[in-house]
Every structure is written in C-alpha cells, then in structure tokens.
Amino acid sequence: MAEPEQCAYLCVHQEAVDQVLEDLPPDEHLYDLAELFKIFGDTTRIKILYALRENELCVCDIAQLLSITQTAVSHQLRVLKTNKLVRARKDGKNVFYALADDHVHKILALGMEHIEE
C-alpha cells in the first residue's frame, strides 16, 4: 500500500505480492544461499565432494582419482574450505581433506535424488 503505481507494472496482483514480501528472507540471506549453491554448481567441486563422501583423501589422491591437475584440485579445495564445505588435516607433507559436516552429505544426497527422478 506504500507503493504508488508509478512503475510500469500494471498487472501486479498486489495481495499476493504483499504476502510474499512478508515472508521473504532478507536479501543478505538469499545472497548467501545462492553463494552456497554456487559452490556445489561446478563439476570439479562436485566430484571432489563425492570423492570425500566416505574417506578423507590427500590432494594428490584426489588429483589422480579424478584425473585433474594438482593445481586445479588445490584451487578448488581452497574454495571448498573457505566456504566450510571441507576441512583440512595436515600430516607431514600431506594435507588430508574431508567433508566438513553432515549438511554437505545431505545436500549432495537430496540433489542426487532430484536428478534420478
């Protein structure tokens, strides 16, 4: 009701729009949510996450397993770690990576469910 009809949207169903506006999470949350899914939205990162589903693996395990360069793996692990989807454990010259928490498992599983329908 605070919105004058000064815009070009003449067909707006105001009641429906107003109701959505009430329940819509703050922009910042929606932005963060998109950022989260963006991390899952890359084939290399998905492969890495899937590889880490059961065991922790070191960087070159992942590189060999997925037939991608160590550098590419390192870059993507950094993204995954920054976004708290994996955690790192250092052991001598090796750094072992594992999924950060159960949310990651769940999101992967739910996504796969949707794919396979």
Partner DNA sequence: CTTTCATATGAATATCTGTTCATATATTAG
Partner DNA sequence: CTAATATATGAACAGATATTCATATGAAAG
Q: Which residues bind a copy of itself (CB under 8 A)?
A: 3, 7, 9-13, 16-17, 19-21, 23-25, 29-43, 45-47, 50-51, 53-55, 57-58, 60-61, 63-65, 70, 93-94, 103, 106-108, 110-117
Residue pair 79/49 in contact (Cβ under 8 Å)? The answer is no
CA angle 48, 33, 101 (to 5 degrees): 45
Rounded-to-integer distance, Cα 113 and Cα 90, Å: 34
Closer to DNA by CB, 9 or 22: give it. 9
Residue pair 45/39 in contact (Cβ under 8 Å)? The answer is yes
Which of DNA, a copy of itself, none is residue 111 near (CB under 5 to 8 Å by kind)? a copy of itself
Which of DNA, a copy of itself, none is residue 99 near (CB under 5 to 8 Å by kind)? none
Whole-number minimum distance, CB 86 to a copy of itself, in Å? Answer: 14
Rounded-to-integer distance, Cα 75 and Cα 115, Å: 27
> For residue 50, which of 85, 17, 23 has the smallest C-alpha distance?
85
Contact set with DNA (CB under 7 A): 9-11, 38, 41-45, 58-60, 68-72, 74-79, 88, 90, 92-96
